[in-house]
Structure 1
Amino acid sequence: MKPAGTSIIFVDDRDRVLLLLRDDRPDIRYPNQWDIPGGGVEPGETPEETIVREMREEIGLELKGAELFERTEFPDRIEYTFWKRANLVIEEIDLMEGQELRWFTREEAAATPLAFGFNPTIEAFFQRLPILHGA
C-alpha cells in the first residue's frame, strides 16, 4: 500500500495561495523548492488529524475548518489536499519548518516548479475556485 500524505492550500481574499520554501538540506526530498504545506500521515492518524498536526508543527497554527479539496493518487503516494480561506499574515507566523512563506498568484504558482508534483493540484484548485467561493 502506498504511503499517504496531506497538504493544505490556504487561499487569501485576493485569491493567492500560500506556499512554503522547503529547507535547503541534502537529507530531504526537494530541498530549496516551493511546496504546499503539509506532511505524511503517521500510523493511526486520519488525514484530517495529520493536517492539523502538521500545521501546528510547521507554522504554529491551530487549524480548524479545513475542507478536503481532493484525494490524488500519485506514483509514490496518496495525497489528501485540503483547503481553507485564510488571510494569514506571514510576518506573524513563527515558521518552524522551511525557509520562507509567500503568497503566490495563479500565474506565479504556474511559473514555479513545485515539490512533489503539485503544479497540477494548484492549477486544478484555481480552476475550481469560483465554485469553492460558493461553498
Structure 2
Amino acid sequence: MEYFDVFDKDLTKLDKVMERGTSLNKGEFHKVVQIWIKNSNKYLIQQRNKREDRVPYQWALTSGAVLQGEEPLDSIIRETKEEIGLELQKDEIKNISTYFVKHHKASFIMYVYFVEKDVKIEGLVIDKEEVKELKYSSVREIKQMIRRDEFWNYPEQFEAPNYFKVLEKE
C-alpha cells in the first residue's frame, strides 16, 4: 500500500499521513507531480492502461503521487523511470508551476515539471500495467485531445488562462 504526507493550503506538512484510496478532510492536500518532456517542439505523452480510470485509456503526462517522506523532484524522477523507463537527472528538470487541484474526491498540490531532451520512444521500456503506448504530440494536438476528453484533464490546471503560455515559453 502507498502512503502520502498531508499538507495544508500553506504547504505546511501536517502530522498526518493518508493511504492511497482514502479521502482527505477539507483544507488538506497531498502532493502530485507531472512532467512535460519536450523534443523538437512536441511533448512525450502516454496512453494510460487502466480500465478502472474514470475515462479508460486516456492520454496523459507522466505523473504520480509523491510518497511519504519523498520530495516532489525525487518523485518525478522515480515516476518517469517506473512508468516509461526514462532516467532523468535533477539538474535537467525545471519546476514551471504549482497548482492546487480538486479532482472528483481528491485534493492535491500539483507540481509541474519540464525537461527538454532528445528521447527516442523506441529506446524506452514502459510499465505495461500503467502505460499502453507513448507518442509525441504538439500543444495544439493536446488541446484538441482535452476538448474531446481523450486527455487526462485537471480543469484548474489545463484551463488556467496562462497555463500553456508558460509551457510555450520553455
| Aligned-residue RMSD, C-alpha | 2.2
Report the TM-score when normalising by structure 1: 0.85
* Aligned residue in 2 for 1:37: 62
Tell me if the contact between 1:106 and 1:123 (Cα under 8 Å) persists in the aligned partners. no
Structure 2 residue identity aligned to 1:53: R
Structure 1 distance, partners of 2:124, 2:55, is: 23
| Match of residue 135, structure 2, among 102, 109, 120 | 102
Tell me if the contact between 2:96 and 2:167 (Cα under 8 Å) persists in the aligned partners. no
| Match of residue 79, structure 1, among 110, 124, 142 | 110
Whose relative contact order is higher, 1 or 2, with alpha carbons under 8 Å and at least 6 apart?
1
Counterpart check, 1:115 vs 2:142: no
> CA shift at 1:120, angstroms?
1.5
Tell me if the contact between 2:158 and 2:164 (Cα under 8 Å) persists in the aligned partners. no
> CA shift at 1:121, angstroms?
6.9
> CA shift at 1:29, angstroms?
4.7
Q: Which has the higher helix share?
A: 1
Task: Give CA deviations for 1:46-79 in whole Å, capped at 9, x if unaligned.
Answer: 0011001111111122211211011111112110
* Aligned residue in 1 for 2:124: 93
Tell me if the contact between 1:10 and 1:84 (Cα under 8 Å) persists in the aligned partners. yes
| Structure having the higher Rg | 2
Instruction: State how 1:40-79 maps to structure 2 within 5 Å.
Output: 40-64=65-89, 65-75=92-102, 76-79=107-110
Q: Which has the higher strand share?
A: 2
Q: Percent identity?
A: 25
5+ residue gaps, structure 1, are none
Report the TM-score when normalising by structure 2: 0.69
